[in-house]
Amino acid sequence: MVLLPKSKYLDFLSQFGVGGAHPGGINLTKEIFRSENISNTSHLLDVGCGTGQTAAYLASSYGTNVTGIDINSIMVAKAKKRMKKNNLPVKIIHGSIEQTLLPDHKFDFIISESVLSFVNKPKALKEIFRLLKDGGRFIAIEFTIKRPLEAKIEQEIKQFYGFDSFSMKKDWITLFKHAGFKNIRIQKNKSISSVPEYHYSKEIEPELYELMEKHYDMNLKYEDVLDYRVYSCTK
């Protein structure tokens, strides 16, 4: 068996402290939540919250009760620092969305922004479903491939980003339905963009600079296959 090197993409994102590391960035997030019914009594979970840009935005703009969870300890430290600096009562948890210690039916809204490709999707969606209140909403901005990929290309992208799997639109719908979600809606890629934020670590592994360049090359090389969609569904 050939052992492939572990992807360092999430190390790059965390050490560079990239905020808004999802297609459309914070501007797409803002646009999506404009049409959701959030109030200051809502409870919201940001899955794979990264440096906490979205969690902080939702807490400060809507006065809502926000929790963020992320598996990467550097991301968690940067998100906690952001909340402290801005005096925001956002709870940041270090852990995996595949299995959490959070109670059933806790949240009115759960959001995942470019997270589910990195995880075991059925496991994570089962957990997200468990955590949502009845009638709660799940919103996901996630990579969606336009067509099945050639094995070699699939391997190259998976290995570089550390993705667990790729899904086309129809695969996402099947995954949501299997988890129990209903009223599944899909919005097309809206060509909204934002400039990402950076919160650099004091020391950054030199190879991560090369990785950043490779990431931009990969984006260009595979822009015709690596698309995204905004999914929303109800428990």
Ligand X SMILES: C[S@@+](CC[C@H](N)C(=O)[O-])C[C@H]1O[C@@H](n2cnc3c(N)ncnc32)[C@H](O)[C@@H]1O
Q: What residue ranges bind ligand X (CB under 6 A)?
A: 10, 13, 19-22, 48-50, 53, 69-72, 75, 96-98, 113-115, 118-119
CA 178 to chain centre: 20
Integer-rounded Cα radius of gyration of the chain: 17
* Cβ closest to ligand X, residue 152 vs residue 214: 214
User: Minimal distance in Å, beta carbon 188 to ligand X?
Assistant: 19
- Listed as own residue / partner, the contacts of 160-164 with beta carbons closer than 8 Å and 24 or more positions apart are 160/7, 160/9, 160/214, 160/215, 160/218, 161/7, 161/9, 161/117, 161/118, 161/218, 162/6, 162/7, 162/9, 162/10, 162/118, 163/117, 163/118, 164/117, 164/118, 164/119, 164/120, 164/121
* Cβ closest to ligand X, residue 49 vs residue 90: 49
User: Minimal distance in Å, beta carbon 65 to ligand X?
Assistant: 19
* Cβ closest to ligand X, residue 50 vs residue 136: 50
User: Minimal distance in Å, beta carbon 197 to ligand X?
Assistant: 9
The closest of 203, 187, 91 to 144, measured between CA atoms, is 187
User: Minimal distance in Å, beta carbon 96 to ligand X?
Assistant: 4
* Cβ closest to ligand X, residue 70 vs residue 108: 70
* Cβ closest to ligand X, residue 42 vs residue 72: 72
User: Minimal distance in Å, beta carbon 48 to ligand X?
Assistant: 3
User: Minimal distance in Å, beta carbon 124 to ligand X?
Assistant: 7
* Cβ closest to ligand X, residue 119 vs residue 233: 119
